Structure 1
Amino acid sequence: MRSVVLTAAAIGAVAVTAACGGDGHGSGHTAERPAATATSAPVSTTGHNQADIAFAQGMIPHHRQAVQMVELAERRAGDPQVKSLAGKIKTAQQPEIDQMTAWLREWGAPTASPSVGGHSMHGIAPGDAMPGMMTAEDMTAMERASGNEFDRMFLEMMIRHHQGAVQMASTEMEQGQNPAAKSLAEKIKADQTAEISQMRNLLNNR
């Protein structure tokens, strides 16, 4: 009779252990997973403020103009190093444009500011629209240049363009709230600061 009681107790202990998920694989462990998934959200939506929106809305057309400039370099540059740098810039900035566009859509914000300085943000913005932006005249001059003349013009203008992006990224790092946007701003600042040094070296060696 005693052995039967002990067996029942042992069975009860095993049942309690299984119900509590004591082995790490029981039903208690499995039931926790859906709750964790339901409460987690993409990093970009963990919170944002107006600075995050302004950063994305400004940096998208800023990057787009840089892409236009490097596409000109692909066709008109004479120095292989300038063409290589242009390709590097394009490879980095197009995915960033796509990422920031996705964030703005998630945040329910327009993908670009309606206007800057009274001008439409579509296409090339005026030079005073945001830091480092080229004017329409600047872009036309680049389109007409080629070879060594283009290389120098491209390097000088892209340095100025990058300096503007670094300024915008610094503002986001100081004033933004969204972790993903601030992380991207930090990356842009680091990448473009390094590229400014590279372009200055190319200019000095000409």
Structure 2
Amino acid sequence: MKKQIFIGILLSTITLYAGEPTEQNLEKITIATPVEKIIPKSYDDFNGYEKDAMDLMMSTNSKIFLSDDAGNNFVVYMIPHHEGAIITSTGILKFTKDERVKKLAENIIQSQEKEVKLQQEILASNDLQGNDIKDFKDEMEKIMHHMMMEMPMASKPLTNSKDATIAYLTNMIYHHKGAVQMAQAYLKVGKNPELINLCKDIISSQEAQIKEMKNILKEYKAPIPNIN
């Protein structure tokens, strides 16, 4: 019965959302929303994508899925975290002229869309229960909050390639740092084999991408985030 109720919640939240994200229906997006549905409409400056990503990651819509299980709480926070990266990576493809950044963004979109779908499948399976860890969800919340406090929001429209590219790389470094920290936290207490493998992949791939992004920022002579 519990599994049927849980799947019913997933299906109802998916049905609730329809169309492109806008200021009005962003409020309907939860971690159950198909990843294809979270891509925003086309903006005239990169700031729009950054704002949509931040709004989605800060949304409390998915709190209905929280439980005491560490794996459950990990995916409740990691799914919107990944979706924020997908949104800004989709946006930067419109503005950057740097082929290295385009390739990086395409890789992020491809890998993180797969990882979102995997996490949604694991969540819907109702396997994430029984590994109750006190204060784990508070740790996830703390990592997300600190990450978003570190990410600077532009005070001017980001319409040219250089400005948008620097903003994207800078914030993505902080964003990746948050994902690595969340994955490391789950590996300390996690028991779900699929999530354990996912966390290991997140750490290895995103640490490598952080190094790549720092090197590109260095070539742009832009400030490099100190995340150590």
Shorter-normalised TM-score: what interval? 0.5 to 0.7
RMSD: 2.9
In the alignment, structure 1 residue 202 sits paired with structure 2 residue 221: no
Stretches of structure 2 that go unaligned for 5 or more consecutive residues are: 1-67, 129-136, 221-228
Aligned partner of 2:167 among 153, 162, 171: 153
Structure 1 residues 158-173: aligned runs within 5 Å: 158-173=172-187
Deviation at 1:108, TM superposition (A): 7.0
Equivalent position to 1:185, from 180, 196, 199:
199
| Cα offsets for 1:158-197 (capped at 9, x unmatched) | 0000000000000111111111111101110110000000
Report the 3-state secondary structure (helix = DSSP H, G, I; strand = E; otherwise coil) of the residue aligned with 1:177.
coil
Give the share of equivalent positions with the same residue, in percent. 29
Instruction: Report which of the two structures shows the higher radius of gyration computed on alpha carbons.
Output: 1
Contact 1:131 1:167 in 2 (8 A): no
What is the CA–CA distance in structure 1 between the aligned matches of 2:157 and 2:119, rounded to whole Å?
28
Correspondence for 2:33: none
Secondary structure, counterpart of 1:145 in structure 2: coil
Structure of greater relative contact order (alpha carbons < 8 Å, 6+ residues apart): 1
Where in structure 1 are there 5+ consecutive unaligned residues?
A: 1-48, 110-115, 118-125
Q: Does 1:50 align with 2:99?
A: no
Deviations 1:28-74 (A, max 9, x none): xxxxxxxxxxxxxxxxxxxxx71111111111000000000101111
Deviation by residue 1:63-119 (Cα, 9 ceiling, x = unmatched) = 00000010111101121111111001111100100000111111177xxxxxx99xx
Question: Which residue in the other structure is 1:132 paired with?
Answer: 147
Count of aligned pairs between the two proteins: 143
Residues 88-167 of structure 1 correspond to what in structure 2 (within 5 A)? 88-107=107-126, 129-133=144-148, 138=153, 144-167=158-181
* Structure 2 residue identity aligned to 1:65: G
- Residues 1:174 and 2:193 are matched in the alignment: no
* SS, match of residue 147 in structure 2: coil
TM-score using structure 1 length: 0.62
